């Protein structure tokens, strides 16, 4: 199967993060086995999802990891002109959920398997496919830890998120908490005797607004200045709670998420968040002692720090000819590889502007650039 046929197959699996990815993993494992390559799975706790990794070529150090995620975002509520789980070419665009983010790159990585074996690479390609990237990069750390323990150490990890085949050497970190405000219900005519979880939660959300204003007023650090925007941001995008318009809300839940520039310390923001929640909680409990604010960590995605003379960056610049500096404000699994002492870089086909959109697509030209990139990578590994 060539890279296009592989993408067609991968896109056909509707691996939205809310459901299992095991049907896709089964297929990939069979594909690798057909080439004599043994794959290893790393399951989630209830074994409904799995990461998969494999070593293609000699069991020696100095190989290159090609890393991608298998999950995609939902299509419900989006107006698609084609079947989102069938790759459809219209003109110079290949439409389908995941064509850009990022089953296109997954297909390219798998297409490297027979090529690497036929050419006789002296250093291996290591395939790494994860689950639940789209909901907080949850699955990859377990896989990366096992790869560190059981695989020959790779010299570089290429995370193929859509970057228009540019070498992206830095990204922001992502950290998120789930806030559950527990109030006390009374009729709203007696609201002074109750505690509205919604209204108290709104105080914490307003603190997020005030924190953003404070951060924006600071002069950006040298590291932050590369990003757009050049500062850390905090955000609440959902809220749920309440029983009726005339009852003080018993419950209110919402997320608070941070996107941190690599030079900022999450501990500072975490401590301030918890301190503000404790301040509001004390005032709630002065009215009714059973009320409280519960904070639960949802995800923790470390940022990707630009490396000084990093092996991954050198390799990708050599393969692409791109010598410009690129950083992005979204998070990826690249920071997780770097946190486990891999030299990591982002480079993949497609435009991030297409990710998560209705009528998501990758251009034929970008996909072909990805194929050329893989061929050059194999050439490099054949040379040793």
Percentages helix, strand, coil for the chain (3-state, rounded to 5) are 35, 25, 40
Integer CA distances (angstroms), 208 to 9, 132, 261, 339, in order: 43, 27, 17, 28
Place of tokens 């990366």: 144
Confirm if 125 and 384 have CB atoms less than 8 A apart: no
Amino acid 221: pLDDT: 87
Nearest one of 165, 254, 246, 152 to 202, comparing CA atoms: 254
Residue 121 has pLDDT above 90, yes or no: yes
What pLDDT, on the 0 to 100 scale, is given for residue 248? Answer: 97
Q: What is the pLDDT of residues 198-228, one digit of tens each?
A: 999 999 999 999 999 999 999 998 888 999 9
Compute the mean pLDDT over every residue in the chain, rounded to the nearest whole number: 96
Rounded to whole angstroms, the Cα distance separating 157 from 293 reads 40
- pLDDT value of residue 98: 98
**Band of residue 17 on the pLDDT scale cut at 50, 70, 90:** very high
The whole-angstrom separation of Cα 2 and Cα 371 is 10
pLDDT digits (tens, 9 = 90+) for 254-307: 999 999 998 898 899 999 999 999 999 999 999 999 999 999 999 889 999 999
Check whether 2 has a pLDDT greater than 90.
Answer: yes
Q: Are strands 168-171 and 93-95 parallel, antiparallel or unpaired?
A: unpaired
Residue 350's pLDDT is: 97
DSSP 157-201: EEE---STT--EEEE-EEEEEEEEEE-B--BGGGGGGSB-HHHHH
Distance CA 133, CA 181 (A): 28
Contact between residue 252 and residue 181 where contact means Cβ atoms under 8 Å apart: yes
**Is the CB of residue 85 less than 8 Å from the CB of residue 14?**
yes
pLDDT band per the 50, 70, 90 thresholds, residue 15: very high
pTM score of the predicted model: 0.90
Token reading at 367: 């996909």
Q: How far apart are CA 213 and CA 220, in angstroms?
A: 13
CA distance 162 to 181: 38
Largest CA distance in the chain: 79
Q: Contact 368/94 with Cβ under 8 angstroms?
A: no
Distance CA 148, CA 152 (A): 8
pLDDT score, position 361:
98
- pLDDT tens for 332-383 read 999 999 999 999 999 999 999 999 999 999 999 999 999 999 999 999 999 9
DSSP β-ladder status, 251-260 and 173-182: antiparallel
Would you say 292 and 281 are in contact if contact means Cβ atoms under 8 Å apart?
yes
For residue 122, what are its two tokens?
């002296």
At 263 the pLDDT is 83
In the predicted structure, residue 158 carries a pLDDT above the cut 90: yes
Q: 384 pLDDT exceeds 90?
A: no
What average pLDDT does the segment 69-90 reach? 98
Whether residue 111 has pLDDT greater than 90? yes
């Amino acid at each position: 199967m060539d890279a296009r046929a592989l993408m067609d197959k991968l896109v056909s699996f509707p691996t939205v993060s809310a459901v299992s990815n095991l049907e896709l993993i089964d297929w990939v494992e069979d594909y690798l086995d057909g080439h004599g390559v043994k794959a290893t799975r790393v399951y989630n706790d209830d074994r409904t999802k799995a990461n998969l990794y494999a070593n293609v070529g000699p069991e020696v150090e100095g190989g290159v990891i090609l890393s991608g995620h298998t999950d995609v975002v939902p299509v419900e509520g989006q107006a698609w002109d084609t079947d989102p789980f069938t790759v459809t070419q219209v003109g110079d665009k290949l439409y389908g959920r995941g064509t850009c983010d990022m089953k296109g790159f997954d297909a390219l990585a798998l297409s490297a398997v027979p090529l690497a074996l036929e050419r006789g690479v002296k250093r291996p390609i290591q395939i790494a496919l994860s689950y639940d990237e789209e909901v907080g990069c949850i699955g990859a750390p377990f896989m990366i830890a096992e790869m560190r323990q059981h695989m020959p150490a790779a010299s570089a990890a290429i995370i193929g998120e859509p970057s228009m085949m540019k070498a992206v050497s830095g990204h922001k970190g992502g950290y998120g908490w789930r806030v559950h405000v527990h109030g006390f219900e009374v009729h709203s005519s007696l609201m002074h005797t109750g505690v509205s979880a919604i209204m108290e939660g709104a105080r914490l959300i307003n603190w997020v607004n005030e924190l953003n204003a404070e951060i924006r007023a600071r002069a950006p650090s040298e590291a932050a200045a590369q990003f757009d925007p050049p500062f850390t941001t905090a955000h609440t995008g959902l809220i749920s709670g309440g029983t009726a318009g005339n009852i003080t809300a018993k419950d209110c839940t919402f997320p608070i998420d941070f996107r941190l520039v690599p030079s900022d310390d999450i501990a500072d923001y975490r401590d301030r968040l918890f301190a503000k929640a404790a301040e509001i909680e004390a005032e709630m409990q002065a009215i009714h002692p059973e009320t409280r604010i519960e904070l639960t960590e949802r995800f923790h995605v470390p940022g990707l720090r630009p490396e000084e003379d990093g092996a991954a960056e050198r390799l990708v610049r050599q393969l692409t000819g791109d010598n410009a500096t690129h950083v992005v404000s979204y998070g990826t699994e690249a920071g997780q590889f770097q946190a486990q002492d891999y030299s990591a870089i982002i480079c993949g086909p497609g435009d991030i502007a297409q990710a998560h959109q209705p009528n998501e697509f990758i251009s034929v030209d970008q996909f072909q650039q990805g194929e050329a990139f893989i061929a050059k990578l194999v050439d490099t590994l054949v040379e040793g």
